Amino acid sequence: MSGPTLTPSLGGYVPRDRTWQPDALTPPYKTSVKRSPSAALLSFPSSLSEETAPIFGHGILGALDNDLLHNFATQGQSAIGPRIIVHGRVLDEMARPVPGALLEIWQANAGGRYRHKKESYLAPLDPNFGGCGRTITAADGSYEFHTVYPGPYPWPNGMNDWRPAHIHFSVFGHGFAQRLITQMYFEGDPHIPLCPIVGALKSQEAVDALTAPLDMHRTVPMDSRAFKFDIVLRGRRQTFFENRKDGM
């Protein structure tokens, strides 16, 4: 007589490792003072709805959703600025690909300005650039975006603080508890070591994990440079995330 059939569990998430990610309270990053917890933290098990929903249909994506050069532009026009390709793979801690993950990005335009009603930076808006895109990882975990190199911009953290050029990433798995948020910097940006947000990271290894190197093998001659940014969800080489200190 054979034993009972075991159904694998799809839920349950490992508690975050608070020694790995930046501390929630980092006074040089002034908004962290108000945003960080002021009382003892409580831990709750994830619910069934968090582990299994919501889901998204792959058919909702449009043909230009990963092309920020054209997805907001009028017919025959293109976003203004240095054209770049941002590509990479989403991997787990064993370097296995994570297919079917929804990646969303948002960024400032080439002048360092966001298309947002509360934006206070006086750099010009680009009428042909919306600043956001999305794609779904392929079977090998790969993704690709076409966009412009975002400009640095000042922010009211200190008297003369500037954010490095960066792109925000949201990684959405197969349940509510699987959404992770991070940001990508660019190799060689002199603002990186001066940024108070980057300064919250605890090691140069952490900074390097968020910095995309130039990838000349994926450039398009006379058109676009390329930068490679792999996202690792767990383990020793995991990417640093803003809203969770572990991976999926």
Q: Is 114 a catalytic residue?
A: yes
Which is the catalytic residue, given 16, 70, 115, 168? Answer: 168
Architecture of domain 64-232: Sandwich (2.60)
Beta carbons within 10 angstroms of residue 78's beta carbon: 15
Contact between 84 and 214 (Cβ < 8 Å): no
pTM of the prediction? 0.87
pLDDT tens by residue, 93-131: 888 999 999 999 999 999 999 999 889 899 999 999 999
- Secondary element (H or E) of residue 51: helix 48-52
Q: Can you give the three-state secondary structure of 168-189, one letter per residue? A: EEEEECCCHHHEEEEEEEECCC
Which is the catalytic residue, given 114, 143, 149, 185? Answer: 114
Which is the catalytic residue, given 87, 153, 185, 244? Answer: 153
Distance separating alpha carbons of residues 145 and 154, to the nearest angstrom: 25
Q: Is 168 a catalytic residue?
A: yes
Least confident of 42-56, 92-106, 112-126, 199-213: 42-56
**Is the pLDDT confidence value at 207 over 90?**
yes
**Is the pLDDT confidence value at 171 over 80?**
yes
Instruction: Please compute the mean of the pLDDT values over residues 172-188 and round it to a whole number.
Output: 84
Contact between 129 and 79 (Cβ < 8 Å): yes
Contact between 201 and 22 (Cβ < 8 Å): yes
| 199, HSE (Cβ side, Cα atoms, 13 Å) | 16
Average pLDDT over the chain reads 87
